[in-house]
């Protein structure tokens, strides 16, 4: 498939058909990774952010009151000697 390269200001751009984005799993993405390898431009889905959604999940657990300590408070044997 050939695709037109368009001038956009001082840059160039392309419009990717939805079918190609769907095949690559990018149809719902707002960003993509892009690299050049051996003269080819390669788009790929960005890696899922580490710990994505953890904040919302923790807030949901806390809202349900299910965030109590399982083992209670405990410290190390030498904590009494520490000064802050």
Query: Where residue 12 sits, what CATH number does that domain have?
Result: 2.10.260
**Confidence at 80, pLDDT banded by 50, 70, 90:** confident
Separation of alpha carbons 45 and 34, rounded Å = 9
Would residue 34 count as lying in a domain? yes
**Can you tell me the mean pLDDT for 17-25?**
92
One DSSP character per residue, 10-41 reads TEEE----HHHHHHTT-TT-S--EEEEETTEE
Q: What is the pLDDT of residues 28-61, one digit of tens each?
A: 888 999 999 999 999 999 887 788 889 999 999 9
Would residue 30 count as lying in a domain? yes
**Confidence at 82, pLDDT banded by 50, 70, 90:** confident
Would residue 43 count as lying in a domain? yes
Would residue 84 count as lying in a domain? no
5: pLDDT strictly greater than 80: yes
Tokens of 9: 């200001």
Say how many domains are in the chain: 1
77: pLDDT strictly greater than 80: no
Separation of alpha carbons 22 and 76, rounded Å = 54
Would residue 7 count as lying in a domain? yes
Separation of alpha carbons 66 and 1, rounded Å = 55
Q: Which domain holds residue 14?
A: 1-68
Would residue 8 count as lying in a domain? yes
Would residue 74 count as lying in a domain? no
Would residue 13 count as lying in a domain? yes
CA-CA-CA-CA dihedral for 54, 59, 64, 66, to nearest 10: 60
């Amino acid at each position: 498939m050939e695709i037109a390269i368009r001038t956009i200001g001082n840059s160039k751009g392309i419009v990717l058909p939805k079918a190609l984005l769907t095949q690559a799993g990018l149809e719902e993405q707002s960003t993509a990774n892009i690299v050049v390898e051996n003269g080819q431009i390669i788009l790929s889905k960005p890696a899922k952010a580490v710990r994505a959604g953890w904040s919302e999940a923790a807030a949901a657990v806390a809202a349900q009151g299910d965030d109590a300590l399982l083992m209670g408070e405990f410290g190390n044997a030498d904590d009494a000697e520490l000064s802050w």
